[in-house]
Amino acid sequence: MSEQYLAGAFDATAIRSLQAVKHLGLLNVVDDLRAQGLNEHVDLPQLIVCGDQSSGKSSVLAAVSGVSFPKKDNLCTRFATEVVLRRDDALEVAQVSARITPSSTRPLSDRQALEAFVRELSSMENLPETIADAAMVMGLGAAGSAFSADILRLEVRGPQMPQLTIVDLPGLIHSENKFQTAEDVALVNALVEGYMSQERSIILAVVSAKNDYANQIVLAKARSADATGRRTLGIITKPDALHPKSTSERSFLSLARNQDIEFALGWHVVRNQDTNVTTEMDRDNVEAHFFSTSQWREIAEKDRGIHSLRDKLSQILFRQIRRELPELIREILLAKEDTANLLGRMGRSRATLSEKRTFVMEVGQAFRDLCRAACEGLYEDAFFDDLSSDNQSRRLRAAVENGNLAFAKRMLNLPVTSVIVHDSQGKLPGTFNPIMIGQLFRELSRPWFKYTREHANEVWLSARAAVVAMLETITEDYICDACMKAVIDPELESMQQAMETRLTEYMQEFRRQPITYNHYLTETVQAARYGREHHEAIQRCRELLKSRGTLTLQDVGLIVDAVVPRREPDMENIAARSLADYAEAYYRVALKRVIDEVPAHVIEPTILTALPTLLDAPTILAMSTQQIEAIGGESPTRTAIRRTLQAKLEVLDRSNLICNVLTLVRLTVLPTRDTTESPSYLLRTLRLVLIPLR
């Protein structure tokens, strides 16, 4: 492997030429976002330099960034190196800081050790030693792994330096050997593929002319990550290694013309810096002479040489930012909203018992407000917007009302079964014993006890589901679980017991002797008799018409006999029929009561009225210290998560402020000052043009 190290002098001119003056305003907006640390939460445009091992990609990075890469060692290729260029006009010369970003797969103890690695360099000359130290900390010593998923972050700060991030990735490995294991191959592949998959990254796919490009796996990976080639630029290095006019040279010339492997961004050719060339000017002169005296002069000037590459990348960066900016702003807003919601659910930091009780009070107040709205059917809160089948219980009042309607329909559709009545006669023939009404009614109403209990329990289950959903919305899952376990579930069980007790007491009334003063009873009895007699009269009239054919005035008596109810000679039948009429009539009267009163007098007071009091102030004040600790306590891990979220929210807030102006206007840089001024000055001197951002 012949990869290069970061070392030597920094040339800000290289970067300034990369970013054209007319694009500087928009580029600086994105760089300001990166300076806020937004790239840790949202993908931002960046240059990704990747290629097979020994492809010359580090030379490309050196030429593009202006940071020299000597060819002594190969440590840089063993982990990703983010070169972060930052502007600091307070400095007279460039300064470098180095730190390690641990892989997310590292255990906590390793992460702490890696995060403790911080180096401040006053000169670029000490950079190779710093990189070697970082490799040792990552465990890349002689007895350690060959590659690491950790990231070395080099931040270069200096005057007149636009902000940009360029990533140097380990070279892709074709196969394992005694120095590079299968695990190393997989790690490097995953690392490179991860960077390539970031949609806002510009892939610089570096291909060495020393090897057949068909065998260089970087091209397959670039095509896999960027199927259309929209954000991939192929770069051919070491063209001077090809024999003039050879088949290989003709093949690479065809590749450079985008005739073989096509990328939407095309291809570019650069000549790597020789080891005996020490300055950028010498390097550029050697490259210019090579391209002017070889077959490579057939390639358009815009597609060869490092200077034209910088100009090309400037255009690519600008188009990428302009295309991605609207979606980037949307992602910032969504991330800000999600982070704020997570912090809101966590509540404020709490260490003392008083702070914990205050937190529980705040949770209780939010719960009461939401619960009261759910019970009263006031669905203005966003909590009630989810109407999916799994969340029907959120709109608790509607769920209960729908359940009550289903309960009423079910009760009304219950079949009134026939009952054989024995010894129903009263003291006089043709009458019935009034006590028999109660006996017959109790038999008819036997299913009521089952169905009323089922309905009440269904309402209770809906109420519990609504309570859980409210707490999960208001606070974190572990706090919700603690609330349910410590307070709410015991209270809900008490409510359920109270509901069942009241329901049993209420339904017990229908086991006693029937009592009603509702005129609907007699009306129902009369209606039943009339209906029966009316039906019998119609049947007799039909039989009369069928037998007589036509009727005359002389047949009036026959008509009257047909219409007038027949006398029932069987006294027992008269008594049984009358008893059945009264029992069924009372059944209808009582059924209306049950349908109305079970929801109103059993379910409402024991469940819906009591539900908002589950976490009211008296309840919380009466909680034991153990209960308060269980609900309001916070582990060190949760405290660390809160700090991380707060820092993230601050980054997103600052980023949102930067983006706010871009949602309404397009920005144009005033040409009244040197374009090397700081981004903050540029933002102050932007002319606002009232044209929608395109």
Write out pLDDT tens, residues 535-590: 666 776 777 667 766 666 556 666 666 555 655 554 455 555 666 677 777 788 88
Q: Are 267 and 171 found together in one domain?
A: yes
Residue 452 pLDDT > 90: yes
Q: Mean pLDDT for the chain?
A: 77
Q: What is the average pLDDT across 455-476?
A: 93
Q: How confident is the model at residue 501 (pLDDT cuts 50, 70, 90)?
A: very high
Q: How far is CA 263 from CA 232, 249, 259, 267, 300, in A?
A: 6, 20, 10, 7, 16
Query: Which residue is associated with the tokens 């006398």?
Result: 567
d(CA 448, CA 178): 81
Choose one of 332, 366, 397: the last residue of a domain: 332
Q: Are 22 and 143 found together in one domain?
A: yes
Residue 245 pLDDT > 70: yes
Q: What is the average pLDDT across 356-380?
A: 92
Residue 605 pLDDT > 80: yes
Choose one of 611, 632, 653: the last residue of a domain: 632
In a domain, 646, yes or no: no
Q: Are 501 and 618 found together in one domain?
A: yes
Query: Which residue is associated with the tokens 């920094």?
Result: 10
Q: Are 272 and 384 found together in one domain?
A: no
DSSP 127-190: HHHHHHHHHHHTT-STTS-S--S-EEEEEEEETT---EEEEE-PPBPSS--SSS-HHHHHHHHH
In a domain, 216, yes or no: yes
Q: Are 152 and 275 found together in one domain?
A: yes
Q: What is the average pLDDT across 176-200?
A: 84
In a domain, 673, yes or no: no
In a domain, 545, yes or no: no
CATH number at residue 499: 1.20.120
> Domain range spanning residue 24?
12-332
**Least confident among 300-314, 485-499, 519-533:** 519-533
Q: Are 34 and 135 found together in one domain?
A: yes
**Least confident among 70-74, 213-217, 235-239, 605-609:** 70-74
In a domain, 591, yes or no: no
Structure confidence by residue, pLDDT tens digits, 271-296: 987 655 556 667 778 888 888 888 89
Q: Are 358 and 243 found together in one domain?
A: no
Query: What pLDDT does residue 3 have?
Result: 37
Query: What pLDDT does residue 21 have?
Result: 44
Choose one of 632, 656, 680: the last residue of a domain: 632
Query: What pLDDT does residue 2 have?
Result: 36
d(CA 641, CA 469): 23
In a domain, 163, yes or no: yes
Q: Are 239 and 376 found together in one domain?
A: no
Structure confidence by residue, pLDDT tens digits, 609-628: 999 999 999 999 988 898 88
In a domain, 44, yes or no: yes
CATH number at residue 47: 3.40.50.300
d(CA 480, CA 377): 23
Q: What is the tally of structural domains in the chain?
A: 2
Residue 112 pLDDT > 60: yes
Terminal CA-to-CA distance of the chain, rounded, Å?
A: 45
Q: Are 399 and 285 found together in one domain?
A: no
Q: Are 234 and 383 found together in one domain?
A: no
In a domain, 637, yes or no: no
Structure confidence by residue, pLDDT tens digits, 644-669: 788 888 888 888 877 775 554 444 43
Contact between residue 28 and residue 163 where contact means Cβ atoms under 8 Å apart = yes
User: What are the b/e assignments for 298-313, b being 16+ CB within 10 Å?
Assistant: ebeeebbbbbbbbebb
Ramachandran region, residue 273 (left: φ > 0; alpha: ψ -120 to 50; beta: rest): beta
Q: Are 495 and 461 found together in one domain?
A: yes
Q: What is the average pLDDT across 179-199?
A: 85
**Least confident among 56-65, 193-202, 501-510, 628-637:** 56-65
Q: Are 310 and 380 found together in one domain?
A: no
